[in-house]
Structure 1
Amino acid sequence: MPNLPDAVLWSVPAFVLLTVIEIVSYRLRPDEDAAGYETKDAATSITMGLGSLGFDLLWKIPIVAIYTALYELTPLRVPVLWWTIPLMLLAQDFFYYWSHRGHHVIRILWACHVVHHSSRKFNLSTALRQPWTTLTVWPFYLPLIACGVHPAALAFCSSVNLVYQFWIHTERIDKLPRPVEFVLNTPSHHRVHHASQGGYLDRNFGGILILWDRLFGSFVPETAPPVFGLTKNITTYNPLRVATHEYAAIAKDVRGAASWGERAGRVFRGPGWRPEPRETATGAATAVTEGTA
């Protein structure tokens, strides 16, 4: 198959240039309504991004082995041609939507993805705040490999998707013309995704296309100004703690759980799930499991 480039590595100079331009724009034209930049926060985001490059190389070893084994087992083959690449990009974006959605509604997966949402700022440096534990992502793309998409082609499509999402992490771009906003993921749509207030939570999961959210009922337009960050924000800039704080919280909750059902719920149900006390006929309090969105 053709040697496909790593779009992320080729785009690093553009990432740096655009981030510098955005920082300068805030200096020259401050916006009191925007979150803007904060030095420690931006440094943490950049450190998380650099760290993710190293950890991703480590995780790729077993992932590539699994993908390659499955690719060799399937009789199907998708050739890498000028007209199949857009179709593979479309398919990858579809499975990205479900991976992204899954990483918001299953707590052990959220422990990976929460890193990207942990900043209370929303700027181009926030796009670089990537997790170090992306070993949880690969199962969502197994259907593509089973259908004959070469692992290298999938890696290329994933890198294009990630590069696209860089520019939508900004408050400097207002809403775009309606046809663009209807089809594509835009800064306006992604600001909603990074917001922490109730009506905006767990919305707008699309990577390149926002059509998936419209189709599967997870779309919300930007109306009220977003409040960025988590529903319970962290107060550290330590990269190791940023990368692992939710795993530590899960471990603490599992240790304090009263039953195996509660332990499973603390790991596999939603990030906000808690067992709810219920009075029994004798007046003793028991716990029932009830999920929260």
Structure 2
Amino acid sequence: MELPHFPSVVLYSVPLFILLMVLERVSYWFHPDSDEVGYGGKDTATSLSMGLGSLGWDVLWGLGTAVVTSAVFLATPLRIEFHWWALPLFLIAQDFCYYWSHRGHHMIRVLWASHVVHHSAQTFNLSTALRQSWTGFTGFLFYLPLAAVGVDPRITAFCGGINLVYQFWIHTERIDKMWRPFEFVFNTPSHHRVHHASQGGYLDRNFAGMLIIWDRMFGSFAPETERPVYGLTTNIATHNPLRVAYHEYAAIVRDLRTRRVWHWPATLLRGPGWAPAERPAVQAITPAQVS
């Protein structure tokens, strides 16, 4: 079966992104709230510059990841045909893979080095959604199972675009908690504020893309109970796009230089906060202790 032409969901949504950001910014002028961070000029400018830069890099990385994903798809004899009535099922499958990709990018340091860009903003608004990595070539690994069972990569990419557009609107403090049945199933601003928070009980929670049910099923859900503090546990204190994009890679290189070779795999593949345990100092035994 020949696939239909899939529109570029993200590209067509850009005017809507701009409109919603303008409306959100205006809402802070007319309804300021001292308890809300709102928009910070430098932070917003950095988010926008990271988003613009990611567009070019995504084209470059996309070529390589498309080759690998297509190779897996062509190698398997399995085929799952696309029908528009089955689109919700494809979206659920893509969202399931997104959950594990997102979770993996928090739990594996070399992947976190790419994803940390998105969490480096200390404000939380719709422009934060555009603060994207310039090294976004790591996520494709988590979608290879879909290609292996016969899902055409173009279908997965189309569903990924819908997923990305959905996640734009949840980057806001202007929407409080929503209708409880909706919050039980879908990712919402309240759930995603928790994900972007840096305090202890909120760390590494709510990895959902569209469906929060994955977090509920796999034990990573946390409700919003206190005001989130946004940013990293140790903020980078810079708005330089190059440093924002690559600071964690630089930190990894510094750690590899100072750690023993047998610690390198764990440095790369364990969590961002992992460090080799320090050996206790050997205490010298004095003659008095012997006697």
Q: TM-score, normalised by structure 1?
A: 0.94
Question: Residue 278 of structure 2: SS of its match in structure 1?
Answer: strand
Amino acid across the alignment from 1:45: S
Q: Which residue of 2 aligns with 1:278?
A: 279
Q: Which residue of 2 aligns with 1:21?
A: 23
The farther-off stretch of 185-194 and 143-152 is: 143-152
Amino acid across the alignment from 2:255: D
Cα separation, 1, equivalents of 2:141 and 2:279:
37
Task: Give the length in aligned residue pairs.
Answer: 282
Q: Which residue of 2 aligns with 1:197?
A: 199
Q: Which residue of 1 aligns with 2:9?
A: 7
Shift of 1:70: 1.4
Quote the sequence identity (%): 63
Picking from 44, 61, 64, the partner of 1:62 is: 64
Higher relative strand content:
1
Shift of 1:83: 2.1
Picking from 127, 140, 143, the partner of 2:142 is: 140
Deviations for 1:178-232, whole angstroms, at most 9, x for unmatched residues?
1011000000000000000000000000100000000000000000110000000
Amino acid across the alignment from 1:103: H
1:39-188 superposed matches below 5 A: 39-188=41-190
Amino acid across the alignment from 1:104: H
Shift of 1:262: 2.1
Q: Which residue of 1 aligns with 2:268?
A: 267
| Unmatched segments (≥5 aa) in structure 1 | 285-293
Shift of 1:42: 0.6
Cα separation, 1, equivalents of 2:107 and 2:159:
24
Cα separation, 2, equivalents of 1:64 and 1:272:
32
Cα separation, 1, equivalents of 2:238 and 2:52:
18
Question: Residue 182 of structure 2: SS of its match in structure 1?
Answer: helix
Cα separation, 1, equivalents of 2:7 and 2:53:
21
State the superposition RMSD in angstroms.
1.1
Cα separation, 2, equivalents of 1:155 and 1:216:
25
Question: Residue 276 of structure 2: SS of its match in structure 1?
Answer: strand
Q: Which residue of 1 aligns with 2:37?
A: 35
Cα separation, 1, equivalents of 2:121 and 2:199:
14
Cα separation, 2, equivalents of 1:163 and 1:283:
60
Cα separation, 1, equivalents of 2:95 and 2:85:
16
Larger Rg: 2
**2:255 is aligned with 1:253:** yes
Cα separation, 2, equivalents of 1:283 and 1:12:
64
